[in-house]
Amino acid sequence: MEAEIASLQAAALAEIETVGDRSSLDAFKVKYLGKQGEITKLSEGMRHVAKEDRPRFGKALNELRQSVTSRVEEREQSLASQADAEVLSRVDISLPGIPAEQGALHPLTHLLDRAVRIFRRLGFAVAEGPDIEDEWHCFDALNTPQDHPARNEQDTFYLPDGRLLRTHTSTVQIRVMENQAPPVRIIAPGAAYRRDEVDATHLAQFTQMEGLYVDRDVSVADLKGTTEYFFRQLFGSETEVRFRPHFFPFTEPSYEIDIRAKSLGGKWMELAGCGMVDPAVFEAICQKRGDRAFDPDVVSGFAFGFGLDRLAMNLAQVPDIRMLVENDLRFLKQFSAL
């Protein structure tokens, strides 16, 4: 059997020197190292060897397998190197290279980052919630009556199971209050969805940022100070901010926020809605939590919300909101220096 082992080793090592490509090497491995290969067949003959001779022959078989395996690995590396060298030989190093394009933040992402940084300086944390919501979080908890137009299927995307795509990120405020006792100071940026006709100023999906601050003795003065600080940080220290009475189901009193800034052409522009959280919202939260953590006789708060898409349009002087979602590089490259 020693002669068979030596003969097989010599044949295998001689044959592998003739292997010139990957497919031939694979065939060689099957022939000698496979389950039905020559070395395996020779190993099966060990049962006919005398018991006292088996350790010696077993050692010789292991050395055979290791030597063939080692040579196969060396040949694999050699063939791979040859293939790489062949590819590189076809490369014309005199040709100019292909420049790598440098990416940049989307103007909407850039604005979102700026807004988050400003509110963080005021102590606000970022909160998130699901895009698919139920009516309680989207409407009922926010004191929205059953006959409110926003509940109509013409205004809201409803799913077959009765859930819906959130129409605002106020749902995040509700979820935070469900799980956190006052004080609460959060902003909730994210996507919102409404059945608007897509045109130069409307999208069916848009980016909204809402904020909520709840604690003892929170007042309209806190609301005005916070929003005025934000818009002046965003548009410049000379920005004028005014509040006009309005109505929202979830705040009382409620206001529309207009601003006037030189960077926006010096005209008054409606940009946000806000107000003091309606006590009915706090009562709904207390009922859901099963405690009085948000007792409206003890705590108060304010909320605000605005569309980041509109702000991005105003800051970047974009005439059509659809440009923000069309992914046209000719448009987006203009903001690479932001």
281/181 same-domain check = yes
Model confidence pLDDT, tens digit, residues 290-303: 999 999 999 999 99
Question: Does 275 fall in a domain?
Answer: yes
Q: Between 158 and 330, name the one with better pLDDT.
A: 158
Residue 336 reports pLDDT greater than 80: no
Predicted pLDDT of residue 2: 67
Q: Which two tokens stand for residue 166?
A: 């959130």
Q: Are residues 20 and 82 in the same domain?
A: yes
Residues 50 and 121 in one domain: no
306: tokens are 């605005």
pLDDT value at residue 11: 81
Of the candidates 260, 168, 165, 181, the one whose C-alpha atom is nearest the C-alpha of residue 211 is 168
The response to whether 252 counts as a known ligand-binding position is yes
| Lowest-confidence pick of 38-52, 98-112, 121-135, 308-322 | 38-52
Residues 142 and 268 in one domain: yes
Residues 160, 80: one domain? no
Degrees, nearest 5: CA angle 275-277-282: 175
Q: Is residue 298 part of a domain?
A: yes
The reply to whether 113 and 84 lie within a common domain is no
Return the pLDDT at 306: 92
Q: Is the domain of 9 the same as that of 118?
A: no
Within-domain flag for 141: yes
Residue-level pLDDT at 337: 64
Q: Is residue 175 part of a domain?
A: yes
The secondary structure of the chain, three-state, reads CHHHHHHHHHHHHHHHCCCCCHHHHHHHHHHHHCCCCHHHHHHHHHHHCCHHHHHHHHHHHHHHHHHHHHHHHHHHHHHHHHHHHHHHHCCCCCCCCCCCCCCCCCHHHHHHHHHHHHHHHCCCEECCCCCEECHHHHCHHHCCCCCCHHHCCCCCCECCCCCEECCCCHHHHHHHHHHCCCCEEEEEEEEEECCCCCCCCCCCEEEEEEEEEEECCCCHHHHHHHHHHHHHHHHCCCCEEEEEEEEECCEEEEEEEEEECHHHCCCCEEEEEEEEECHHHHHHHHHHHCCCCCCCCCCEEEEEEEEHHHHHHHHHCCCCHHHHCCCCHHHHHHHCCC
Residues 178 and 291 in one domain: yes
CA 83 to chain centre: 39
Residue 151 domain-assigned (yes or no): yes
In this predicted model, which residue has the larger pLDDT, 100 or 304?
304
- Whole-number Å distance between alpha carbons of 306 and 318: 17
Q: Domain check: are 173 and 137 in the same one?
A: yes
Q: Which residue range(s) make up the domain with 171? A: 107-335
| 116-151 pLDDT tens trace | 999 999 999 999 999 999 999 999 999 998 887 778
Residue 49, pLDDT score = 67
Whether 125 is covered by a domain: the verdict is yes
Whether 102 is in a domain gets the answer no
What's the mean pLDDT in 310-332?
86
The verdict on residue 114 lying in a domain is yes
Give the pTM: 0.69
Our count of domains for the chain comes to 2
pLDDT score of 288: 93
* pLDDT single digits (tens) 32-74: 778 777 777 777 776 666 677 677 777 777 887 888 888 888 8
CATH number at residue 215: 3.30.930.10
Mean pLDDT of 84-111: 84
pLDDT in tens, 181-235: 999 999 999 999 998 888 888 889 999 999 999 999 999 999 999 999 999 998 8
